[in-house]
Structure 1
Amino acid sequence: MTDSPCPCGSAKPLDQCCGLYLSGKTYPKTAESLMRSRYSAYVLGNLPYLRLTWHPDTRPELDMDDLNTQWTRLEIVRSKQGLKRSVVEFRAWFQDGDMERALHEISLFKLYKKRWVYVEPLAEWP
């Protein structure tokens, strides 16, 4: 890890932000911080972290080909933190040829073995 800015857009150095989670030093305490760290994992190509933070019931088989997208920025639209379920709406911007496009998702997170994990996208805000 370096002192470069964290990909999640927090304006903090990577080592003081998502790098703490990606290195295994600690685990996100909120669904939004988990979502931000998962975005950073996609940017940095950290496949083991993505597997670790995906609910085992919905986790697909992932390989390095899933990390070929050139992500450019993250925008958190809104988040709702619950005790056992949380929701984060975001836009993850990526490069598509000469154009920048966005993946827009409303994501469901749940507590699993006392840790937040990504479950699946939702069709609408609950």
Structure 2
Amino acid sequence: MTDQPCPCGSGKKFKACCELYLSDQAYPNAAEPLMRSRYCAYSMGNLAYLRKTWHPDTCPNLNEEDLETQWTRLEVIKSKPGLKQSVVEFKAWYTENDQEHVIHEISLFKLYKKRWVYIRPLTKWP
């Protein structure tokens, strides 16, 4: 997998992209790479990484069943960086019952204890 393109759609090899985050060699320094690495964590079933990158006040009680979705691709539409808060809009495709579906989300990220974390989806672009 490490020589393959990263599932996050960045165009980089997995080993030079999200593998650095998922293997604890580095931590994303902005919301967009964090969101991309969280997509990889979902697609690879990395529950520990998802918990680590979710704000403790909004993190649900995740379990292995939450990671059974077969994610197929990610498209980042736009991102709005900020010093303490950022927003990323994306589409993530998945397959269910041999049908392709898409989730379209605008996600809020905040700096928490000097690390970017996922907070929650927003209803509209701020």
TM bin (shorter chain): over 0.9
Q: For residue 90 of structure 1, what is the aligned residue in structure 2? A: 90
1:97 shift after superposition: 1.7
Identity of matched residues, %? 67
In 2, Cα distance between equivalents of 1:63 and 1:48: 10
Deviations 1:35-58 (A, max 9, x none): 000000001111000000000000
Q: TM-score, normalised by structure 1?
A: 0.97
Deviations 1:95-122 (A, max 9, x none): 0222211011000000000000000000
Q: TM-score, normalised by structure 2?
A: 0.97
The answer to which of 7-16 and 103-112 deviates more is 7-16
1:4 shift after superposition: 1.8
- For 2:35, what is the secondary structure of its paired residue? helix
| Number of residue pairs matched by the alignment | 126
Amino acid at match of 2:42: Y
Q: For residue 63 of structure 1, what is the aligned residue in structure 2? A: 63
- Stretches of structure 1 that go unaligned for 5 or more consecutive residues are none
- Report 1:1-126 matches (<5 A): 2-126=2-126
- Stretches of structure 2 that go unaligned for 5 or more consecutive residues are none
